[in-house]
Chain A
Amino acid sequence: MQRLRFAAYDKQESRAAFLFIIPAFALLAVFIFYPMIQALWISFQNYNLISSHSSFAGMDNYRKLLSDGSFGDSLWHSFYFTLVVLPVQTAISLGLAILVQKKFRGVGFFRTVYFIPVVVSFAIASTIFRLIYNKDYGMLNVILKGIGLPSVDFLSNPDISMLGIIVLCIWRAMGFVMVIFLAGLNNIPESLYEAAHVDGASPIQRFFLITLPLLKRTMAFVVIITTMDALKIFIPIYITTSGGPAGSTSTVVHFIYETAFKQMNMGYAAVAAFLFFFLVLIISIVQLRVFRTDVEY
């Protein structure tokens, strides 16, 4: 071997590496990064698909959006949805995970059953729930009436319509979060519980003094992804209520979709998407800082 290498990298290896990366990189550049830059550009335009001409709008779109009541409402609906779903869904999922963590006869059955709704697509779950919620013939009200409770009308009562969507989303997602918690719970060494047991800690003490603190990292992940997904809620809204009744379930992504593809006002919708993106980013960063952890186990 008389080849002498002065470079730190093997030339052939580098070339192979670039060839391996190029397809993914090209797709990423064309379909993710370029649209991202384009989105920023469009947000400064009066870009309307129907009139087909676009003109420079400067900050007009931004100014208009910030004083747009229906955007404000949609923002509030997304946050309301998230503020309810986040604690309720996390608590239910953690509860289920604890129930099925220990091995017992039939544990596999229950784990699978709780996970099954995750495999049903969001569009289909929304469709089923829409029919179940139906005021006259829906299963929910038949059962409520059957056991002597007043009927609820999730689909046309603006006061509770969002609750109907919340129930449906928790139904579909709880098994998913449960699986993440299960993995987190299995990482906590059994010896800690045994030691606590010897010291006479009650199950409730064990939960708050061992389980919760040691689940911090898993909890951080769950809280962040649940928040992100919840803020972006769209499919169940589109299918069950289309933002109604009386705009009571219109969320941000629904607002963006309607503005861009129903009113064909791309520039304005891009601004809404951008502001929303920064909001989600800030919230995620804050959550990451809150959950920053030094717990090692």
Chain B
Amino acid sequence: MNRNIAAGARWIVMIVFAVISLFPIYWMVMSSFRTHEEIFKYTTLSRELFIPVNWTLQNYKDIFLDPSKPFGRYMLNTLFVAVIVTGFGLAVNSMAAFAFAKLRFPFKKILLTLFMSSLVIPYEVIMIPQYLLMRDLDWINSFTALIVPQIVWVFGIFMLVQFFADIPRDILDAARMDGASWMRIYNKIVLPAAVPALITLGIMTFLNQWDSFLWPLVVINEEKKQVIQVAISSFQSLRNISWGKILAATSISSIPILVVFLFLQRYYVQGITMSGVKG
């Protein structure tokens, strides 16, 4: 009897938290299909409050067709920046990780410590001089400012170092004997062996870039070059903007990510776990 009550309570708690987790997202998507009047119409608990009465795609049409706030453009901007940063980031960070994990060279300890020490520096401290640097390089309002400073990611390097460490040195030495260059070994042996780790790091980098907010807010002032997260936040400061449009914008920029996540969540969760348990 007692055991049944405990099991029941357990299920109730789990379901309550599931509802709390999903409800804001559900509400966002449902409201994005409502007409402007309808969003403010139902203010009592009723069926209409949770399911749109007149389904409409008008909000989506509006955000994509508004020439003063070209939402499709913002999405492409963000996608472009995120893909480039992810690509270059994987290359640069995995190369450094390979050297630290497998190669023997002088000053390795010192260099490793130097890399590590950068993890202590909070972004907020270097944000101001970074901004001044962008100004001096004349990169303000350009994608270069969004891409180049974001490529190196020390956390990513250390994640890959842990992964590469498992590759036996004997294999690399054997390939050396056969006359392979280190670059070839890296390309043909190390990278293929680390595909799961690269996927994990790739997803994390991409999501970080897709979500990036403070840095674009600071370095991009030109309307056309804005990225998605900042664009969404600026929607709210417009006079008379409808909630439907805001919610259409937030839905369209998070649903693709959610779907991709559902397929690749194993890799993403693995990345968090590695950072938390091994690190």
Q: Which A residues contact B (CB, under 8 angstroms)?
A: 9-10, 12-14, 16-18, 20-21, 23-25, 27-28, 30-36, 38-39, 42, 95-96, 99-100, 110, 112-117, 119-132, 136-137, 139, 142-143, 145-147, 171, 175-176, 179-180, 182-184, 187, 218, 221-222, 228, 232, 234-235, 238-239, 253, 256-257, 260-261, 266, 269-270, 273-274, 276-277, 280-281
Contacts and interface: CB of A to CB of B under 8 A. Distances in A.
Contacts of B217: 238
13 contacts: A16-B103, A20-B95, A20-B98, A23-B92, A28-B118, A35-B128, A110-B14, A116-B22, A121-B210, A121-B213, A180-B276, A182-B273, A184-B276
A136 B41 CA distance: 11
A273 B131 CA distance: 14
Given A218-B277, A273-B128, A128 B103 contact: no
B125 interface: yes
A10 to B, nearest CB: 7
A99 B243 CA distance: 36
B55 interface: no
B126 A35 contact: yes
Contacts of A115: 265, 269
Interface in B229-277: 229-230, 232-233, 236, 243, 246-247, 250, 253-254, 257-258, 261-262, 265, 269, 272-273, 276-277
Nearest to B172: A13
Query: What are the 3 closest A-B residue pairs judged by CB atoms, nearest first?
Result: A146-B45, A38-B129, A16-B182
Contact of A25 (B45, B98, B111): B111
B236 A128 contact: no
B121 A36 contact: yes
A25 B96 contact: yes
B96 A114 contact: no
Contacts of B118: 28, 32-33
Given A20-B186, A24-B157, A184 B277 contact: yes
A27 B122 CA distance: 16
Contacts of A273: 122, 124-125, 127-128
A116 B21 contact: yes
A182 B211 CA distance: 25
Contacts of A146: 44-45
B254 A238 contact: no
Contacts of A121: 210-211, 213, 229, 253-254, 257
A114 B22 CA distance: 8
A17 B164 CA distance: 14
B65 interface: no
Contacts of A99: 10, 13-14
Interface in B35-74: 39-40, 42-45, 49
A70 to B, nearest CB: 17
A13 B122 contact: no
Most buried by B among A13, A238, A256: A13
B236 A14 contact: no
Given A24-B92, A130-B236, A266 B133 contact: no
Given A13-B103, A17-B99, 19 more contacts: A13-B182, A20-B98, A24-B157, A25-B111, A27-B149, A35-B130, A39-B125, A99-B14, A112-B265, A126-B233, A128-B25, A128-B247, A131-B243, A143-B45, A146-B44, A146-B45, A182-B273, A184-B276, A276-B125
Nearest to A234: B214
Contact of B125 (A16, A27, A126, A277): A277
B165 interface: no
Contacts of A10: 104
Nearest to B41: A137
Contact of A9 (B40, B98, B106): B106
Contacts of A24: 92-93, 95-96, 115, 152, 157
Contacts of B250: 124, 127-128
Nearest to B121: A36
B28 interface: yes
Contact of A36 (B105, B125, B276, B279): B125
Contacts of A261: 131, 218
A113 B22 contact: yes
Contacts of A128: 24-25, 27-28, 247, 250
Interface string B6-17: 000010011001
Contacts of B103: 13-14, 16-17, 20
B16 to A, nearest CB: 11
B254 A239 contact: no
Contacts of B95: 20-21, 23-24
B227 to A, nearest CB: 10
B76 interface: no
